[in-house]
Amino acid sequence: MVSVTRAVFGDLPLGAGTVEKFQLQSDQLRVDIISWGCTITALEVKDRQGRASDVVLGFDELEGYLQKQPYFGAVVGRVANRIAKGTFTLDGKEYKLAINNGPNSLHGGVKGFDKVLWTPRVLSNGVEFSRVSPDGEEGYPGELKVWVMYTLDGGELVVNYRAQASQTTPVNLTNHSYFNLAGQGSPNIYDHEVTIEADAFLPVDEVLIPTDLTDCSEPDGRHRHHWSSLGWKAQLGHPHGDQTPGLPPAPPFFSFSFGDESTAHVSPAHSGKNCSPSTASLGEIASVQGTAFDLRKPVELGKHLQEFHVNGFDHNFCLKGSKEKRFCARVHHAGSGRVLEVYTTQPGVQFYTGNFLDGTLKGKSGAGYPKHSGFCLETQSWPDAVNQPHFPPVLLKPGEEYDHTTWFKFSVA
């Protein structure tokens, strides 16, 4: 049994509209979502003693969400994550987007989907928000009709995203909640145990764009990297089949096959040494094997960051499978017993450990949010995919429907 209530959360400046809050409650979870940016403002989860705590970062008042802040709890789009240099080309036409993250466009631009008022519709077990993104908004082509639906089922929060376009446009939608299973306001997430079911990840450059692997052609001229949207299956292999006698063995790669159409070969992490320079940009797809990004078995985050001398994560992990529901990630907080499992139909998940939080924002109940005080599991398509034809596609054409779902399942262990 799920109850849904609505109330006024606040008024936008200059009479721009009223923001409403929708509270979804089951016997295991309580979720507050506002119509500004489809934002999750609170998510209360019980610990092993039955005590509920709010496990998402955010603000008590609307004013907090209107200030410059790092997308706490919001739906981001039209394209989540980064697009290199804020440009892409479709059908021979170059589109220039709003630049808002160094040289790149991030999370839809200066005024993305997180900074607009959505139209709500109450459901029996949740709430659906909708809006129309006009042609040219933040530089994107075509009108886009968008629906985001939050529903509650026991200990599971389900988020469904749908979109329809009047002309071909990239679309990539996700929710940007920051979690801390010890409870929001806890100083860090170092005692969280993390698992991500991914054999490959995308290395990034200094501005967090997937690194250019340059030209990695086979001897017969075939590109080693090509993807289709049919689904993928990973296996370990070698780039040139049998090894040539007398020569050192070639490093292994991961082969992701899509039905009968195509295969993408994945290099070991940062292994572009086998490639010759090329003017074409190819984002590197690297194996997690033997790297800090191998999270296929549970790791305690703080110890793991120390062991590998890394500052944190802000990387796309390449998920296996098809567009069907699949396991993505699991986070366990031993102190409270809380467990978060994430399932999704998306091809990737951006694991972000709050590296840019600096404690200057004052959150709920006056909490400060320092570096590494929250983590995000942003299920989505891969960053800069509109400029990377070998990545899973992000283009939505007229007559098609974008339809993806992510499940956040909470329990105790």
Find out whether 176 is annotated in a ligand binding site. Answer: yes
Q: Is 177 annotated as a binding residue?
A: yes
What stretch of H or E contains 28? none
Number of H helices, E strands in the chain: 2, 30
Check if the beta carbon of residue 299 is closer than 8 Å to that of residue 193.
Answer: yes
Catalytic residue among 20, 193, 341, 378: 378
Buried b (16+ CB within 10 A) or exposed e, 161-177: bbbbbeeebbbbbbbbb
CA dihedral 297, 299, 305, 310 (to 10 degrees): 20
Confirm whether 378 is a catalytic residue: yes
Which among 183, 147, 194 is positioned nearest to 57, based on CA atoms?
183
Lookup result for tokens 């690297």: 286
CB atoms within 10 A of CB 263: 17
* CB-side neighbour CA atoms (13 Å) of 347: 21
Q: Which residue has the tokens 């639906």?
A: 149
Tokens matching residue 136 = 């040219």
Strand partners, 275: none
Tell me if residue 309 is catalytic.
Answer: no
User: Is residue 81 annotated as involved in ligand binding?
Assistant: yes
Alpha-carbon span 105 to 79, nearest angstrom: 9
What stretch of H or E contains 63? helix 62-66
Starting at the earlier edge strand, list the strands of the sheet with 338-344. 119-122, 126-133, 144-153, 156-165, 402-412, 338-344, 326-333, 192-196, 299-300
Which residue is catalytic, options 107, 176, 333, 404?
176
CA distance 40 to 210: 29
Do 187 and 370 contact (CB within 8 A), yes or no?
Answer: yes
**Element housing 143 (H / E):** none
Integer Cα distance of 316 and 379 in angstroms:
9
For residue 233, give the DSSP letter.
E
CA 122 to CA 118: how far, in whole Å? 13
226 labelled binding-site residue:
no
- Of 61, 64, 65, 54, nearest in space to 29 by CA: 54
Residues marked as binding for beta-D-galactose? 81-82, 176-178, 314
Which positions are catalytic? 176, 378
